[in-house]
Structure formats: structure tokens, C-alpha cells
């Protein structure tokens, strides 16, 4: 029962965030890049920082935030991580680091997850990012660009993202 209420609340928060989104800065060039990643799908974060470097960014200008279904028993020093337990039954996020990540005005935010994901989708919707990139099967209302790429093939992912960032004149 509580899970259904939480899902409904997340959906309401997502809808509200979509209507309040400011798209006036959508065409700015790339200076800050953010990744919202499903850790069940991908956990080699160093590759994402290297990708930022390939795009001409410094490591400090690339931020990675991850979602884990449930936190492992092993203590972790990672602070850029959120679990489903950190979403209240009203759909609000109780994680200060996540809130700071979502409030940061990234020039491009990449939702690195497959299909529709209620928690990561809610985070993408709440993000203050100017331009959002997602992948096939995701909720198309959340993203400005959806790519059809196998996320298990990092080279294909990189080349597609680079191609479209050049077309959109976000990078040279």
C-alpha cells in the first residue's frame, strides 16, 4: 500500500516538475556535464569522467550521481548515491547531496539508465539541467533528446552523444 502511494506521489512530483521547467537556456554550450546513473546497469564511473575529458571538460566540471535499489551492508564513502529508501512516501527526496546535484544548472544531463525508472525519472524531472539526454524506452517527456544506443557498449554511447552535441553546437 505504501509503495503505491509513493509511486503515485513520485508521478505527481514528476508532472509538477515538468510543467515548471525553464527551457530558455536549452541551447547553451557545454561547460558542466552531469550523469544520473543506475548502478545496476553501470558502475565504471571513471569512464564517465574520461568521457567528460574527451568532450573538453575538466574533471571538476563532470558530476556523477548514482541510484542503488538498496544500500549494501558494506560501509561506503560514496556520497553521490541515493536509494529508493531516501524518497519519502510523498515522493520527496531526503538526501542533501542529491538535492544539491539536482539544483546544479548542468548544461547537459545524461540519464544513464534503461527504460522507464520511477526514481531516476523523478530526479531527471526535478533537475535544473538545461539540456537532458536519455535513452530508448525512457519517458520522452523528461528528455530533450532520446538516443537509441545499447548502453552496454560504451564506445557506441560516446560516439552518439558526441555526434549530437556537435550537431546541436554544444561542443566544437
Whether residue 172 lies inside any domain: the answer is no
Residue of 118 and 11 predicted with greater confidence: 118
Q: What is the DSSP string of 123-166?
A: HHHH---SSEEEETTS-TTT-SEEE---TT-HHHHHHHHHHHHH
pLDDT value of residue 154: 83
Q: E strands within 10-153?
A: 33-38, 62-68, 81-83, 108-112, 132-135, 145-147
**Nine-digit cell string for 10:** 513520485
pLDDT value of residue 75: 53
Residue 102: give its domain's CATH number. 3.40.50
Residue of 8 and 31 predicted with greater confidence: 31
Whether residue 126 lies inside any domain: the answer is yes
The pLDDT tens digits of the residues spanning 115-146 come to: 888 889 889 999 999 999 999 888 888 899 99
pLDDT value of residue 90: 76
The pLDDT tens digits of the residues spanning 85-114 come to: 888 877 788 889 999 999 999 999 999 998
- Work out how many domains the chain is built from and give that number: 1
Separation CA 81–CA 98 (nearest Å): 7
Whether residue 128 lies inside any domain: the answer is yes
143 sits in the region (left: phi over 0; alpha: psi -120 to 50; else beta) called: beta
132 sits in the region (left: phi over 0; alpha: psi -120 to 50; else beta) called: beta
Q: With 60 as the cut, is the pLDDT of residue 76 above it?
A: no
Provide the whole-model pTM.
0.86
Whether residue 39 lies inside any domain: the answer is yes
pLDDT value of residue 72: 61
pLDDT value of residue 127: 92
Identify whether the C-beta of residue 37 lies closer than 8 Å to the C-beta of residue 113: yes
Residue 108 phi, psi (nearest 5): -140, 130
Q: Write out the residue range of the structural domain in which residue 10 sits.
A: 2-167
With bands split at pLDDT 50, 70 and 90, how would you rate the model's confidence at 170? confident
Q: With 90 as the cut, is the pLDDT of residue 33 above it?
A: yes
The pLDDT tens digits of the residues spanning 40-68 come to: 888 888 999 999 999 999 999 999 999 98
Q: With 80 as the cut, is the pLDDT of residue 165 above it?
A: yes
Whether residue 66 lies inside any domain: the answer is yes
Amino acid at each position: 500500500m505504501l509503495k503505491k502511494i509513493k509511486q503515485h506521489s513520485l508521478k505527481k512530483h514528476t508532472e509538477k516538475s515538468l510543467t515548471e521547467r525553464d527551457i530558455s537556456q536549452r541551447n547553451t554550450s557545454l561547460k558542466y556535464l552531469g550523469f544520473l546513473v543506475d548502478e545496476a546497469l553501470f558502475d565504471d564511473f571513471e569512464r564517465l569522467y574520461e568521457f567528460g575529458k574527451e568532450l573538453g571538460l575538466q574533471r571538476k566540471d563532470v558530476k556523477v550521481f548514482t541510484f542503488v535499489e538498496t544500500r549494501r551492508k558494506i560501509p561506503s564513502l560514496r556520497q553521490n548515491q541515493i536509494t529508493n529508501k531516501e524518497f519519502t512516501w510523498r515522493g520527496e527526496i531526503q538526501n542533501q547531496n542529491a538535492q544539491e546535484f539536482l539544483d546544479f544548472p548542468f548544461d547537459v544531463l545524461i540519464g544513464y539508465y534503461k527504460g522507464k525508472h520511477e526514481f531516476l525519472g523523478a530526479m531527471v524531472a526535478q533537475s535544473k539541467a538545461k539540456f537532458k539526454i536519455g535513452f530508448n524506452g525512457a519517458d520522452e517527456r523528461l528528455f530533450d533528446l532520446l538516443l537509441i544506443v545499447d548502453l552496454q557498449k560504451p564506445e557506441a554511447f560516446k560516439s552518439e552523444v558526441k555526434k549530437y552535441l556537435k550537431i546541436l553546437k554544444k561542443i566544437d
